[in-house]
Amino acid sequence: MITSGQRAKLRSIAQNLNPIFHIGKNGVNENLINDINAALEAHELIKVSVLRNSPEGAKVCMEQLCAATDAEPVTAIGNRFVIYRRSSKDDVRHIEF
């Protein structure tokens, strides 16, 4: 669990991020979960965009991905959301709180 102060810091970092994944008509599927797992290991903090033709909204997709990847939800605004998971790799620059 991350605290509200940690969440605020992650939100401020995420303002400068561009979405690296787009969820479309296929919704949250196994391939997307595997790709997001790899991205979380590499970056720790990622922004995802949910397209209009997605079967679910941003908050539902965020909850599904967080449950599937053991990530923490940071924020969901409009059609975008941000999730965080500390990387288990040592060669990744970790976000310090």
Mean pLDDT, residues 62-76: 97
Asked if residue 72 lies in contact with residue 24, where contact means CB atoms within 8 angstroms, the answer is no
Statement: 4-84 belongs to CATH 3.40.50.300? no
Residue 92 has pLDDT above 90, yes or no: no
As given in the structure block, the two tokens for residue 77 are: 């605004």
Residue 1 has pLDDT above 90, yes or no: no
Average pLDDT, the chain: 95
| 10: DSSP letter | H
d(CA 77, CA 67): 19
Least confident residue range of 32-36, 79-83, 88-92: 88-92
Residue 76 has pLDDT above 90, yes or no: yes
Give per-residue pLDDT as tens, 15-60.
999 999 999 999 999 999 999 999 999 999 999 999 999 999 999 9
Domain ranges of the chain: 4-84
Residue 70 pLDDT level (bands cut at 50, 70, 90): very high
d(CA 96, CA 53): 36
